[in-house]
Amino acid sequence: MSGFATHRQRVHDVRLTPRARHANLRTCVVMFAPYGFRATYHHLCVSAGVPGDLAADPLSLVRAAEELGAARQLWLADEAAYAALRRREKAVGSRYVPDDHHRPARRRGPGGSLALCPDPGFHPGGPLPAVVARLLAAEPSSACPACDGRAGTTRWFTGHEEHDLCARCGITLGARPAGPDARVARERHERWLAVWWRTG
């Protein structure tokens, strides 16, 4: 399977159709989705101004891929620094991982997200690299790791799970199973389709 860099390069390839370039952007988001796939995709579409008609602004796909790539570079550097730290610790016989190593960035949510946003339209604002930098630097606390907000929580029901979201930026602060609700699940699916086709 091709890696992130290959798909990012294909987004830049003007010989490909806008649809093919969009498919490569989507694959990049599958490989690195700080908010989960749906919210990260929505963030990039809004941030880069990806239109419903991809042919109207194919450069928007490049802008989205570059923003995602810059955020991923920060994450890769953090992962490399953590791996080097663990190697040094193991070399001196310390195999126990201290609690302070379990920063929010080390806790991966579904899909490898750094901070899951189950509502695709409700996620942190601002450039993705800036938010990822905050997530990587966050210390364990009761505040939200993305915005350090203490605005309380709001609830988001997916149709089978209930999430407590930061009321300021939409990041999941806790989740629990809930009884299935087909109507809510259908509404969430329709909302996602509007995000996917960039119509809502």
More confident residue, 195 or 1: 195
Instruction: Please tell me the number of Cα atoms within 13 Å of 15 on its side-chain side.
Output: 2
For 104-140, how does the pLDDT look when each residue is reduced to its tens digit (9 = 90+)?
Answer: 445 454 446 889 999 999 999 899 999 999 988 887 6
122: nearest Cα among 66, 165, 93:
165
Q: CB within 8 A of 173, min separation 6: which ones?
A: 144, 153, 164, 165, 166
Segment 179-195 shows an average pLDDT of 88
The residue length of the chain stands at 200
Segment 180-196 shows an average pLDDT of 88
Segment 168-172 shows an average pLDDT of 91
Determine the Cα–Cα distance for residues 49 and 63; give it in Å rounded to an integer.
Answer: 9
> Which pLDDT does position 47 carry in this prediction?
97
Which residues are registered as beta bridge partners of 174? 164
> Which pLDDT does position 98 carry in this prediction?
64
Structural domain for 188, as ranges: 4-196
More confident residue, 2 or 112: 2
> Which pLDDT does position 153 carry in this prediction?
86
Cut 0.85: pTM above it: yes
More confident residue, 130 or 178: 130
> Which pLDDT does position 122 carry in this prediction?
94
Q: Phi/psi zone of residue 28: left (φ > 0), alpha (ψ -120 to 50 degrees), beta?
A: alpha
Instruction: Please tell me the number of Cα atoms within 13 Å of 65 on its side-chain side.
Output: 23
- Using pLDDT thresholds of 50, 70 and 90, give the confidence band for residue 14: very high
> Which pLDDT does position 102 carry in this prediction?
53
173: nearest Cα among 155, 191, 187:
155
Determine the Cα–Cα distance for residues 163 and 172; give it in Å rounded to an integer.
Answer: 6
> Which pLDDT does position 105 carry in this prediction?
47
- Phi then psi dihedrals of residue 16, to 5 deg: -85, 155
> Which pLDDT does position 111 carry in this prediction?
47
- Select, from the ranges 18-32, 97-111, 145-159, the one with the highest average predicted confidence (pLDDT): 18-32
For 39-60, how does the pLDDT look when each residue is reduced to its tens digit (9 = 90+)?
Answer: 999 999 999 999 999 999 999 9
Which residues are registered as beta bridge partners of 90? none
What is the number of structural domains in the chain?
A: 1
- Phi then psi dihedrals of residue 157, to 5 deg: -105, 125
> Which pLDDT does position 146 carry in this prediction?
87
3-state secondary structure of 198: coil
Task: Answer whether residue 173 shows pLDDT above 60.
Answer: yes
- Using pLDDT thresholds of 50, 70 and 90, give the confidence band for residue 185: confident
User: What is the per-residue DSSP string for 92-145?
Assistant: TT--S--GGG--GGGS--GGG-SS--SSTT----S-HHHHHHHHHHPPSSSS-T
